[in-house]
Amino acid sequence: MKRYVSSLVFLVLLSSCSTDSAPNGMIVDMYPGPDAGNPNSLINYEGTLYMQLSDPDYGSEIWTYDGELLERISDIEPGSGNAVPSRFLIFQDELLFTALKEPYGRELFMWDGSKDQLLKDIGGDPGSSRPGAFFEFNDILYFSANDQKSGYELWQWDGKEISQTSDINDGPASSSPKAMVELDGVIYFSAERAGFGTELFRYDGFTIDMIADLNPGPSGSLPRGLTVLGSTLYFQAYTPDTGIELFAFDGEDISIVEDLQPGTDSSSPRNLTGFAGKLFYVANSPEHGVELFLISEGEGPELVADIRPDERGSDPEQLFIAGEKMYFSANDGESGLELWQWSEANGAQQVTDISEGVTGSDPHAFIQYDDVWTYFTARTERYGFETWRTDGSTTEMLLDAWPGSNGSTPNDYGLIGNQVCFSAQDGIHGRELWCISHDEAVPVMSR
């Protein structure tokens, strides 16, 4: 296992934790007083938590937290400049990220264990290529980037060299490839081509081609939410005859799954999620409003549950897979937006009414801790937005980081050992890094 030691190391000893006891609270106040360190983009890499974090002397850089020590390991933009590292991902056992560095702008970097390494100045000085939409396939990392000549096009990194895969939209105009998925050894994605608009494309490792012109003309069908179930690719798309509906591609032909809102009205399917051999999605139907639907392979769509039996529907969001359950938020018309779950054995059920009454707790920012527990952010009238966890039957609030009804609004969760870490604000110190020991946390309240 690689160890990360840098000549630029700046250590913050944690007064709130020791080797004998994990912390339950704010780790350190990066900017004494109300200014914020703003930790985000937390990722566990080889047993250490990496993140973007700011301090007064070095600006926004990469920091690590090993469960005891918070450590700055980079000075990408020297001095107090802000590198703002983000989009952390692991590829070929290496940590990649994008960052700002003069004179390159925002480009793709790698952390080699002791220093940051610019992989390629794609955008050229002083332009930024702004890499994004990363997708790994066959040990190659594909992504969208702008070389300031071809616009945003498809690029690739094989661990040794970065090169442009294709200029789909010839010239300086962008094709803006996004939403990449793999099916039967082929990459599918949406991209824009002059005269056709944004349509569905594929890349087999040699050739890029447009699959179909679903909406002829310059507007395109705008495919989104590409998701694979078995041997079929599902996605949201628009045609003038159907509006925005769910479509399927079986490797040869594209067909509409069902015109859920007949005619030109749209059911606007979204949140496409594959789970338990089924495709779940949220859509708007005339009979049920916005509800949760599913498709089993080889079968048509069916309503999961009529959670709110009126024309508005329950408006499910935040679909999150946790072991044999799928959590989501929904509004049954009586409890407000609350925590629900679906399982093969029990179907759709409300987990609990966290914020009693019609206001709703708006659960979101889910992260799975182990095979049993899932952490998330939710609201109550008394405490505001704070950190909660559930095992599907017991649901409990773990920390009142900002006492009173304001709430600390936790987000950007990450895991290190038995600790769940996140950014939060307590009304005094600004938004900083907080951690909770899963084993030692004492719940503030349970539902």
Domains of the chain: total: 1
The pair phi, psi for residue 74, each rounded to 5°, is: -135, 155
- Report the distance separating Cα 41 and Cα 287, nearest Å: 41
- Bridge partners of 278, per DSSP, are 275, 296
Q: What is the pLDDT of residues 79-90, one digit of tens each?
A: 888 999 999 999
Q: What is the pLDDT of residues 188-236, one digit of tens each?
A: 999 999 999 999 999 999 999 999 999 999 999 999 999 999 999 999 9
Q: Please, which residues have CB within 8 angstroms of residue 49's CB and are 6 or more apart in sequence? A: 42, 43, 64, 65, 66, 414, 415, 416, 421
User: CATH code at 400?
Assistant: 2.130.10.120
Sheet with 40-45, side-by-side order of all strands: 10-13, 69-72, 59-65, 48-55, 40-45
**Does some domain include residue 344?**
yes
> Does residue 239 sit within a domain?
no
Asked, for residue 363, whether it belongs to a domain, the answer is: yes
Q: Report if residue 221 sits inside a domain.
A: no
What pLDDT, on the 0 to 100 scale, is given for residue 357? 87
DSSP secondary structure letter of residue 220: B
Torsion over CA: 166, 170, 174, 175 (sign): negative
- pLDDT confidence of residue 299: 82
First to last CA, the chain: 42
Q: Is residue 295 part of a domain?
A: no
The answer to whether position 136 is within a domain reads no
Q: What distance in Å separates the CA atoms of residue 419 and residue 417, rounded to the nearest whole number?
A: 5
Distances (CA, A) of 94 to 35, 42, 46, 109, 116: 33, 16, 10, 10, 11
Q: Which residues, given as ranges, of the chain have pLDDT below 70? A: 1-23
Predicted confidence at residue 22, as pLDDT, reads: 53
pLDDT of residue 32: 86
pTM of this prediction?
Answer: 0.91
- Whether the ω angle into residue 316 lies within 30 degrees of 0, i.e. cis, is no
| DSSP calls for 378-428 | EEETTTEEEEEEESSS-EEEEE-SSTTTTB---EEEEEETTEEEEEEE-SS
In a domain, 437, yes or no: yes
Structural domain includes residue 317: yes
Residues 106-139: tens digit of each pLDDT: 999 999 888 899 999 999 877 899 999 999 999 9
The pLDDT of residue 127: 84
Rg of the chain over all Cα atoms, to the nearest angstrom: 24
183's torsion region: left (phi>0), alpha (psi -120 to 50) or beta?
Answer: beta
Tell me which residue range forms the domain holding 369. Answer: 308-447
Q: In whole angstroms, what is the distance from residue 131 CA to residue 123 CA?
A: 10
Q: What is the pLDDT of residue 308?
A: 97
